[in-house]
Amino acid sequence: MRAKCSSSHCSVASGINQNRKLGESRPRRDLLDNGLGRTPQMGWNNFNHFPGKLNEELIHQTADAMVSTGLAALGYEYINLDDCWAELNRDSQGNLVPNATIFPSGMKALANYVHSKGLKIGIYGDAGTLTCAKTMPGSLGYEEQDANTFASWGIDYLKYDNCHNNGISPQERYTKMSKALLATGRPIFFSLCEWGYADPATWAPSIGNSWRTTGDIKDNWGSMISKADQNDAWASYAGPGGWNDPDMLEVGNGNMTTEEYRCHFSLWSLAKAPLILGCDIRSMDNDTFELVSNKEVIAVNQDDLGIQGKKVNKTGDLEVWSGPLSGDRVAVLLMNRGPSTATVTAEWSDIGLNSSVIVDARDLWEHSTTTSIQLQLDATLDSHTCKMYVLTPH
Ligand code: GLA
């Protein structure tokens, strides 16, 4: 007999309606009223591939590539700058100053360029006195002034980090910036980067559009999978307007196999995580492009219902992840985390289907459909591989 998940958050749903109720009873009362993040955000950020290596040319070329590759048309819209874009010192009026060596044309010109491509631009700040790389000031005590500066430049997204915070509670520091952003009148997506320290899923939905649930991801299987697991604990808190964030994608950065990256992209999509690319999209290889441009997988991430898929069964290293989709469909991910080939099985009872239900199973990576499946879905999977499906009941 197969062991079921032991923790409360991955208890097994007994029917599709129960799954629905799970979603509806999410403990999310007040949502941040900025109209953003109705589905998880999609875009790019430089940190995973180019930490601390920003410049105007990189952003221009990345925006160009987002459009020319077709990724923009698939929904990737934010071009986000991470740490190290500003001078270490504010100007005499206390304003943040873009680093003139790397951004000689300034931030308004950069935002105009990104907007001219039909894209949006994100920037990075810190809810402390200094950013994590210590190369630029944080916004603690300057929240309104900095929010106004960002709005005046035409910024659309703020990733707000947690370094050098003087021990002040994150609720206090992040709420202040959230209010300051709202007060600008410009819709600015608010992405909290608090690393999950003070359980942000329990308080951030009312002030942010996403919140990190983990420390920084690294480009290796162990790191990636541990972020997925940590993020899974908070599934019930996510939904339209505010999302759990297990950190940005490493797909295409070279240190995992293509099949491991396929699992990474599948897990993030199923878990309604932000799809923020972290590779050099100017020079993606075909495998990377095939992974991040899979429309059917992206559609799971961007599904209207907005319910985070969860780990619903674990038998040693063999796992079933699943979540409800609009139209009474169900997303299923079968994954082998172990060292050798094995068969992974999703029973209907694992994934919220009554035993009598007959489904068509669309394999989202093979782009093929198997009709009239009953009772269970299984796949024989090599080490560190997965299969992802959408099941449509008859
Ligand atoms: C922290 C964040 C990262 C990145 C760096 C930049 O570590 O968690 O995502 O923004 O700071 O210095």
Q: Do 242 and 204 meet the contact criterion of CB atoms below 8 Å apart?
A: yes
Position 30 scores a pLDDT of 76
Distance CA 58, CA 171 (A): 34
**Residue where the block lists tokens 């495998």:** 287
In the set 216, 328, 360, 378, the catalytic residue is 216
Specify the pLDDT at position 44: 98
**Could you tell me if the CB of 83 is within 6 A of ligand 1?**
yes
- Give tens-digit pLDDT for 345-381: 999 999 999 999 999 999 999 999 999 999 999 999 9
- On whether the CB atoms of residues 242 and 205 are closer than 8 A, the answer is yes
pLDDT digits (tens, 9 = 90+) for 96-145: 999 999 999 999 999 999 999 999 999 999 999 999 999 999 999 999 99
pLDDT tops 60 at residue 306: yes
Ligand 1 binding pocket includes 350 (Cβ within 6 Å): no
Ligand 1 closest atom vs CA 215: 8
Query: Residues 96, 137: contact at Cβ < 8 Å?
Result: yes
What DSSP character marks residue 281?
A: G
Query: Over the stretch 185-244, which tens digit does the pLDDT of each residue have?
Result: 999 999 999 999 999 999 999 999 999 999 999 999 999 999 999 999 999 999 999 999
Residues 6+ apart with CB under 8 A from 17: none
Token pair, residue 222, equals 């162990």
In sequence order, the β-bridge partners of residue 284 are none
Radius of gyration over alpha carbons of the chain, in Å? 21
Distance 47 CA to ligand 1 centre (A): 7
- Ligand 1 in reach of 216 Cβ (< 6 A): yes
The rounded percent of the chain whose pLDDT value lies above 90 is 92
Is 350 one of the catalytic residues? no
**What is the atom index within ligand 1 of the atom nearest the CA of 159?**
10
Considering only CA atoms, which residue is closest to atom 9 of ligand 1?
Answer: 216
Q: Which atom of ligand 1 is found nearest the CA of 131?
A: 12
- Catalytic option among 83, 126, 146, 161: 161
- Tokens 């629905």: give the residue: 20
Judge whether residue 6 has pLDDT over 90.
Answer: no
pTM attached to this predicted model: 0.94
Q: Is 296 in the pocket of ligand 1 (CB under 6 A)?
A: no
Residue 66 has pLDDT above 90, yes or no: yes
Confirm or reject: Cβ of 54 under 6 Å from ligand 1.
no
Give the pLDDT band (50/70/90) at residue 2.
very low
161 catalytic residue (yes or no): yes
pLDDT of 15 over the 80 cut: no
Percentage of the chain with pLDDT > 70? 93
| Cα–ligand 1 centroid distance for 32 (angstroms) | 24
Q: Tokens 């075909």 sit at which residue?
A: 286
